[in-house]
Amino acid sequence: MPVSLSQQATESPRNMDVAERRAAMKLLVAAETKELAGLLAGIGPLPTHENVRRPETGLVMVRGRIGGDGSPFNVGEATASRAAVRLAGGEIGFGYVLGRDREKAHLVALCDALLQDKSRRSTIERAVLAPLRSRLEAERELAAARTAATRVDFFTLVRGED
Amino acid sequence: MYVAVKGGERAIENAHRLLAHERRGDRNVPEVSLRQISEQLTLAVDRVMTEGSIYDRELAALAIKQARGDLIEAIFLLRAFRATLPRFGSTEPVDTGEMQIRRRISATFKDLPGGQVLGPTFDYTHRLLETWADEPDEPASGQAQSEPTPRVTDLLGVDDLIEPSPQSGPETPAGDLTREPLAFPAARDVRLQNLARGDEGFLLALGYSTQRGYGRTHPFAGEIRLGEVELEFFAEEADFALPLGRITVTECQMVNQFQGSGTTAPHFTRGYGLVFGHCERKAMSMALVDRALRAHELDEEIKAPAQDEEFVMSHSDNVQATGFVEHLKLPHYVDFQAELGLLRRLRAEFEPEQTDDAATQEAAE
């Protein structure tokens, strides 16, 4: 359901909690590009927006920690794409995703911007985040159940006395 | 040294055409797709990502296909590709304690809090070649547990039975071999980066050598875990850490022989391995060699190759190694002409002497 652009300009746009945006991004970055595009298409025509950062692909250096919990070290790089968009109402959205799909980075940024627009938040939540969440949760649960089936209880045999 | 040569353009072009033909194989056989490589030759893809040092399954699959299955060539291709991309920065350090676990085993504690799960493992298979007529059965499902899965080293750490991990201040950036050349002595963060991208075969052999007595460290596989971790990137423009997505990693915690001194109570020492994808043998080898390379820090006598950081770190990279070994194939005509000239001179000097010697001997007889 498209919302008129004049409506959002009157509302304070940037009041969304960082924790909520992070939680939404966790879902968005796990989506397939086609899936994300399809879900967004379901809410009507995309709102006008400009690219604050044109989608681009590069690398991020993945860091681990010595011993798992010590000082950081560099494990190796990963491909990543990023984009940033601004809606007519001024909301700026960011998209940083693993992989070389710039379109996906752009769509994530757009969703992040739309989520900050109060008048659109519930639509994005219902039409984009909710279906993603249920798919990802179901997959995660299935993987966890399959892993759980390989749970092993080793027992040691006591050596008999001579 | 080799010098540039001219000529051979036509031969080179035709060799490349022939290579493409051989790569394709019998044209009556369907061509293998990147998706097939990524889905069915998963562990080859994992190795190429780890040693190619770029996490990107599709690129690694492409490299494997282009390299006709030669994994070192594929690793080389990935490393070359890297040079074409800018770097956005570094991710936040991954938290392996929060991993969504697909495999977790310990050779030190049978009753591990959070449990041991075998996951998709070759262990306990009979290593008999099979032919599959049908699709495999669906995997079994069990009751997933929600209890936390602390690292084994955290459990031992509670009682100070094991040394803590080294902690640096937040302002100390980790050394980066892709930015600064290797210098010795190398800090542990740089050594771990070198080992993470090092050749699996080389590290396996070195790890094995420590077990056979060349720098013995009495290792136990404290814990090996495989699964997915979340990556996050702190973007300055957003001013918070943005979730990037999940990657698969394998982590190995080696628990090694104890250390103590007049001032510190005896405690276990550690070796650490962390790699992209499911590369268990590599993670274990890395942890063994990491521990061996700590010989100097732990006041151990350095007498084995696995303890010699200059030896290990200078030879672990298979792209460098293959470059130097395989460059011997390139024309060395001028070098060789010089050697040949020298040899001829030496022989010319040698022959009259021989004749003189023979004459002297005859005279003596």
| B117 reaches A (C-beta below 8 A) | yes
Contacts of residue A110, defined as CB under 8 A and 6 or more positions apart, other chains included, come to A40, A46, A49, A85, A93, A95
Yes or no, beta carbons of A62 and B117 under 8 Å apart: no
* Contact call for residues A66 and B174 (beta carbons, < 8 A): no
- Cβ burial A33-65 (10 Å sphere, 16+ → b, else e): bebbbebbeebeeebebeeebebebbbbbbbbb
Mutate to test the interface with B, among A92, A96, A111 (most CBs of B within 10 A): A96
Closest-CA residue of B relative to A74 is: B193
- The residue type of B160 is D
Alpha helices in B53-92 (DSSP H): 57-66, 71-82
- Nearest CB to A62: which of B59, B231, B253? B231
The CA angle B278-B221-B250, to the nearest 5 degrees, is 20
Cα dihedral sign for A45, A51, A56, A59?
negative
Chain A residues in contact with B270 by the CB 8 A cut-off are: 67
- pLDDT < 70 regions, chain B: 1-5, 357-360, 362-365
Q: Helix, strand, or coil here: B16?
A: helix
Chain B residues in contact with A94 by the CB 8 A cut-off are: 235, 237-238, 242
- Which candidate, B190, B177, B178, B199, places its Cα nearest to that of B47? B199
How much helix, strand and coil, in percent to the nearest 5, is found in chain A? Answer: 45, 25, 30
* Contact call for residues A77 and B54 (beta carbons, < 8 A): yes
Mutate to test the interface with A, among B88, B100, B156, B252 (most CBs of A within 10 A): B88
Yes or no, beta carbons of B230 and A26 under 8 Å apart: yes
Q: So what's the pLDDT on residue B304?
A: 97
Residue A14 pLDDT > 90, yes or no?
no
Residue A128 pLDDT > 50, yes or no?
yes
* Contact call for residues B252 and B279 (beta carbons, < 8 A): no
Percentage with pLDDT > 90 across chain A: 80
CA distance, residue A87 to nearest chain B CA (Å): 16
Q: So what's the pLDDT on residue B359?
A: 67
Yes or no, beta carbons of A65 and B94 under 8 Å apart: yes
The number of residues making up chain B comes to 365
The Cα–Cα gap between B118 and A66 comes to: 25
The Cα–Cα gap between A66 and A71 comes to: 6
Total Cβ atoms within 10 A of residue B74: 27
The Cα–Cα gap between A97 and A146 comes to: 28
Yes or no, beta carbons of A150 and B119 under 8 Å apart: yes
- Nearest CB to B244: which of A68, A96, A150? A96
C-alpha gyration radius of chain A: 21
Chain A residues in contact with B55 by the CB 8 A cut-off are: 62, 76-79, 98
Q: So what's the pLDDT on residue A9?
A: 38
DSSP state, residue B344: H
The Cα–Cα gap between A120 and B218 comes to: 61
DSSP state, residue B305: G
- The residue type of B158 is V
- Cβ burial B342-356 (10 Å sphere, 16+ → b, else e): eeeeeeeeeeeeeee
Q: What is the ipTM of this complex?
A: 0.92
Q: Helix, strand, or coil here: B362?
A: helix
Q: So what's the pLDDT on residue A11?
A: 41
Yes or no, beta carbons of A74 and B172 under 8 Å apart: no
Least confident of A8-17, A90-99, B169-178: A8-17
Closest-CA residue of B relative to A99 is: B56
The Cα–Cα gap between B244 and B256 comes to: 35
Contacts of residue A147, defined as CB under 8 A and 6 or more positions apart, other chains included, come to B101, B102, B103, B117, B119, B142, B144
Per-residue pLDDT, averaged over A129-143, amounts to 97
Yes or no, beta carbons of B110 and A154 under 8 Å apart: yes
Query: Do you find a cis peptide bond into B185, omega within 30 degrees of 0?
Result: yes
pLDDT tens for A20-66 read: 999 999 999 999 999 999 999 999 888 899 999 999 999 999 999 99
Closest-CA residue of B relative to A97 is: B244
Phi first, then psi: give them for residue B85, nearest 5 degrees. -115, 145
- Nearest CB to A64: which of B85, B94, B241? B94
Tokens representing B231?
């990556």
- Nearest CB to A146: which of B56, B100, B139? B139
CA distance, residue B149 to nearest chain A CA (Å): 13
Question: Strands A151-152 and B100-105: what pairing?
Answer: unpaired
Chain B residues in contact with A143 by the CB 8 A cut-off are: 100, 102
**Interaxial angle between packed helices B57-66 and B71-82, expressed in degrees from 0 to 180 and rounded to the nearest 10:** 130
- The residue type of B14 is N
The Cα–Cα gap between B48 and B53 comes to: 8
Q: Helix, strand, or coil here: B28?
A: coil
Q: So what's the pLDDT on residue A1?
A: 36
